[in-house]
Amino acid sequence: MSLVAVADAGPIIHLAEIESLALLAEVDQLYLPEVVYDELEVGGLPDGLDSIEYELVTTTMTCIEDEELDPGEASALAVSKERDAVLLTDDLAAREVAAQTGVEVHGSIGVIALGHSRGRLDRDEAASLMRTLQRETSLFVTDAVVRRGIELLDERGRTT
Amino acid sequence: MSAEISDRVREIAQARDVPESKVFEQALERGLETLWEDIVLSQYFEGTLDREQAVEQVGRSKVERAEREREVVEQDVDWGLNA
**Domain range summary for chain A, segments of one domain joined by +:** 4-107, 109-159
pLDDT at residue B4, as a whole number: 86
Q: Give the CA distances from residue B53 to residues A54, B22, B40, B43, B57, in Å, rounded to whole numbers and listed in that order.
A: 47, 32, 9, 10, 6
Name the interface residues of B facing A (CB cutoff 8 Å).
Answer: 37-38, 41-42, 44-45, 65-66, 68-70, 72-83
Q: What is the pLDDT along chain A (160 residues), one digit of tens a residue?
A: 789 999 999 999 999 999 999 999 999 999 999 999 999 999 889 988 988 999 999 886 665 666 778 889 999 999 999 999 999 999 988 999 998 999 999 999 999 999 999 999 999 999 999 999 988 887 777 888 888 889 888 887 655 5
Mutate to test the interface with A, among B44, B81, B82 (most CBs of A within 10 A): B81
Q: Give the CA distances from residue A98 to residues A14, A79, A81, A143, in Å, rounded to whole numbers and listed in that order.
A: 20, 11, 9, 25
Q: How far is A66 from chain B (nearest CA, A)?
A: 20
Query: Which has the closest alpha carbon to B20: B28, B9, B31, B30?
Result: B9
CATH for A4-107 (3.20.10.10, 3.10.20.810, 3.30.1490.70, 3.40.50.1010): 3.40.50.1010
Q: Give the integer Cα–Cα distance in Å for A29 and A147.
A: 30
pLDDT at residue B55, as a whole number: 97
pLDDT at residue B56, as a whole number: 97
The stretches in chain B having pLDDT less than 70 are 1
ipTM of the complex: 0.87
